[in-house]
Amino acid sequence: MAHSNSAKKRIRQNITNRARNRWRIKNMRVAIQGFETALVDGSNAEAATAYRSASALVDKTAQSGVIHGNQAARRKSRMNTRLKAKVLG
């Protein structure tokens, strides 16, 4: 158990930040799932719109430091590859 006031405050901050980070990860995953659904069930235009919104959320999540920039790039690249396969194929 923390004894100093600064350690107690740091524990409170960690709880708040963890909750915020988990919320950001969840929103990002929901957006990616929405893209996957639009890719399978929707038209090309719906899939492209879903890709743009999911891509923006992935970038925002990386910009806030919740995920690494390379992970964001990898996720976007894989989504874009699947989108191109649907549009062109």
Per-residue tens of pLDDT for the chain, all 89 residues: 889 999 999 999 999 999 999 999 999 999 999 999 999 998 999 999 999 999 999 999 999 999 999 999 999 999 999 999 998 87
What is the Cα–Cα distance from 65 to 14, expressed in whole angstroms?
Answer: 14
- Any residues with CB less than 8 A from the CB of 2 and at least 6 apart, and which? 8, 10, 11
Read off the pTM: 0.89
Assigned CATH class of 5-88: mainly alpha
What pLDDT score was predicted for residue 2? 87
What pLDDT score was predicted for residue 1? 83
Delimit the domains of the chain by residue range: 5-88
Instruction: Identify whether the C-beta of residue 39 lies closer than 8 Å to the C-beta of residue 23.
Output: no
